[in-house]
Amino acid sequence: MTFLLLDKLETHKQLSFEEWRKLLSELDSPTFDEAQKRAQRLAQEHFGLAIYLRGIVEFTNYCRNECHYCGLQKSHRDLVRYRLSQEEILACCEKGHALGLRTFVLQGGEDPKLSDEWLCQLIRRLTQRFPDSAITLSLGERSQASYAALFAAGARRYLLRHETASHSLYRKLHSPKQSFFARLNCLYNLKALGYQTGVGMLIGPPGQTLEHLAQDFTFIQAFQPEMLGCGPFIPHQATVFAGEKPGSVRLTLYALSLCRLLLPELLLPATTALRTQKASGYLQGILHGCNVIMPNLTPLAAQKHYQLYDGKDATKTLEQSLEELKTEVASLGYHLTCDRGDHPRFVQNNEKRL
C-alpha cells in the first residue's frame, strides 16, 4: 500500500489545495489508519508521552455576536448571563494552581463590558500571583491596540479560531455584521504582536464540504499557528441549527491527525466537543496526535450557563476531572504534565509530572 500524499505532507509540510481535497476524501480508506499512526508517532517524537493541561476559566457568557451555531449568541434571550469578578477568576486559578496547572485560559463571549483597563488589571494580578504560569486569552475579536495592551500586561497566548477559511461558508454561519476578513486580520495582528497564536475550525457545521476543509488546511499551512482547536460542530437547541446533524467524530480525528502531520510541534487539544460526542474522545484525540487537554476551572454554577452546544458536561468538579484524566491517559501509557507547555519556537521550561 502506498500513501503518497501522506509521504509528501510529512516530507514537505505543504500540499496544494487539490492535494488537500484528495487527502481529505480518503477518510474511509486505509489512509485514515496510516495518518493516525504517523500522527501519534510524530507527537511522541516531539512531546514524548506528556499531555499538557490548560485550565480554562469561562468567565463571561455575554456576547455581542450572532454565530448561528453557538449557544451564547446574543439573540439567545433565555440564557442566564454571568460575568465573574476578578476575585472569582483569581480564585479559580488559585485552585488550579494548587492542583498543578501552569496555564490559565481566560475565555468568554465577546462581552462589550470587557474594557482593556479591566482586562490588563486582571492579567497583571494573575501574572504577579502566578509568575510560573502562562496566561492565554480567548476573548474573540478586539482592536490591535487592545491586543497590544493585553500583551504588555503579560498575556502571551491567544486562541481565536478562524472557524472556517471559506468566505462563503463563513457568511452562512455568522450574522451580516460579522466580517470574515476582520477575523483573519485579528489573527495576523496577534501573530505580529508576538503572541503564540491559536486558530481552528469547526468540523461538520451545516453546509461544510471537503473543499471548505481543504481551504482550512491551506490557510493553516500558510498561517503556521502555534496552537489549533478543532472539534465537531454540535447543535444547540436554541439556535437555527437545532435540528442539524453533528459533525463526524471520524472526520474530526482524521483532521487532527493531518494537523499533526502538517505542524509536528503544534499544541493540539483533544477538545471538550470531541469528548461530548464520544466518551473516549480525549483518548481517541491523543491517539490521533493531540497533546493538550483543557480541564474546566469555572465554578459549576457558572459552567452550566456556558452551553455552547447541547450536552456540554457541567457536573464534574476539577478534582474529579483531573483524577479521571490521570487514569484515562495512564491507560494509554501517557501522563499529565504541569509544564507550561510553550510552543517549542518559544521558551520552554523543564517538565514536571502531575
Residues that bind ligand SAM (CB under 6 A): 69-70, 72, 107, 109-110, 138-140, 160-161, 163, 202, 231, 233-234, 236, 273, 308-309
- Of 31 and 276, which CB lies nearer to ligand SAM in the complex structure? 276
For residue 133, which of 327, 352, 298 has the smallest C-alpha distance? 352
Buried b (16+ CB within 10 A) or exposed e, 235-267: bbebbebeebebbbbebbbbbbbbbbbbbbebb
**Shortest separation between residue 323's beta carbon and ligand SAM, angstroms:** 26
How many residues comprise the chain?
354
Q: How far does CA 43 lie from the centroid of its chain? A: 17
- Of 134 and 234, which CB lies nearer to ligand SAM in the complex structure? 234
**Shortest separation between residue 308's beta carbon and ligand SAM, angstroms:** 4
- Of 139 and 214, which CB lies nearer to ligand SAM in the complex structure? 139
- Of 219 and 309, which CB lies nearer to ligand SAM in the complex structure? 309
For residue 88, which of 138, 125, 141, 133 has the smallest C-alpha distance? 125
HSE, side-chain direction, 13 A CA sphere, residue 352: 10
- Of 110 and 216, which CB lies nearer to ligand SAM in the complex structure? 110
- Of 86 and 138, which CB lies nearer to ligand SAM in the complex structure? 138
- Of 40 and 296, which CB lies nearer to ligand SAM in the complex structure? 296
**Shortest separation between residue 37's beta carbon and ligand SAM, angstroms:** 27
In angstroms, the CA 133 to CA 99 distance is 13
The letter for the amino acid at 116 is D
C-alpha cell of residue 74: 446574543
**Shortest separation between residue 159's beta carbon and ligand SAM, angstroms:** 7
Q: Contact at 8 Å (CB) between 181 and 151?
A: no
- Of 66 and 339, which CB lies nearer to ligand SAM in the complex structure? 66
Number of Cβ within 10 Å of residue 124's Cβ equals: 14
**Shortest separation between residue 202's beta carbon and ligand SAM, angstroms:** 5
**Shortest separation between residue 48's beta carbon and ligand SAM, angstroms:** 29
Residue 204, exposed/middle/buried by CB under 10 A (0-12, 13-18, 19+)?
buried
**Shortest separation between residue 61's beta carbon and ligand SAM, angstroms:** 8
Q: Contact at 8 Å (CB) between 52 and 282?
A: no
For residue 296, which of 276, 272, 329, 266 has the smallest C-alpha distance? 272
In angstroms, the CA 251 to CA 126 distance is 38
**Shortest separation between residue 281's beta carbon and ligand SAM, angstroms:** 13
